[in-house]
Structure 1
Amino acid sequence: MPNDQIHQLLSARRRRYVLYYLYRYENPVRLPDIAAQIVKWEPQEGDLVDERSQTHLALYHNHIPKLADEGIVEYDQEEEMVELGENATHLRPYLEHTAETDLDMTDTRGL
């Protein structure tokens, strides 16, 4: 996978968050569970329920389809289940580096 394509995919913080979650937990996982965790990782500005709903919609309509189109994730839209795809390994070294900053993680072994 070309570096420009990797950087474009990882330029969105929420896409990185999706991948952090998938690397840390047994796959497949429910999209609403990913959205709930992302809300916990992001700074809160409003109502928690509203934030979760908005995050879920952004993942459903934007971020998950982009990752799925590139084979980074497999997505069952009907069941709202997401798992790592065959191309996810191309992004892992970048995620190990960015997780330290994004999540204030010093231990990235879970990735």
Structure 2
Amino acid sequence: MSDEASRALLKALRRQVLSTLLEHEDGIGFDSLADENQTVASQWEQNRILLYHNHLPKLDDLGYIHWNPETQMIERGERFDEIQAVLDTPDIDDNDRFSSPTSLMVL
């Protein structure tokens, strides 16, 4: 796994965004992430700012997603296939949720 992929997958919030895109080939709306990951409202609000200002732009810069803040849409990026192979491995903990305590940490 490349250093970029390792850094991208380091945070639970990023893993959840990427894992969600595995199931949504056409992309997903920002607010739909909470529904997809069964996040309670208070936890979603806590993580919303981290996603919007930190994690989504970072994944976009790496090319794994395309994040459009104006439309609030998250789509697979031009390098998504590279990270998809890593996400499909059993080493990634599929039980991570936006409510994970480690998801509140920032790189």
TM-score, normalization by structure 2: 0.77
Query: Offset at 1:90?
Result: 0.7
Identity of aligned residues (%): 29
Summarize the Cα distance change of 1:100–1:9 in structure 2 as closer, same or farther, 3 Å threshold.
Answer: closer
For structure 1, the residue ranges without an aligned partner over 5 or more in a row are: 42-47, 105-111
- One-letter amino acid of the counterpart of residue 3, structure 2: D
Q: Within the alignment, does 1:5 sit opposite 2:4 as a pair?
A: yes
- Aligned partner letter, 2:59: L
Q: How many residues align?
A: 96
Runs of 4+ residues over 6 Å off in structure 1: none
- The match for 2:64 among 68, 72, 80 is 72
Determine which structure has greater relative contact order: mean sequence separation of CA pairs < 8 Å that are 6+ residues apart, divided by chain length: 2
> 2: CA distance between counterparts of 1:15 and 1:91?
11
Quickly say closer, same or farther: Cα 1:99–1:34, change in 2 above 3 A: farther
Structure with greater Cα Rg: 1
Classify the secondary structure of the residue corresponding to 2:71: coil
RMSD between superposed Cα atoms in Å = 2.1
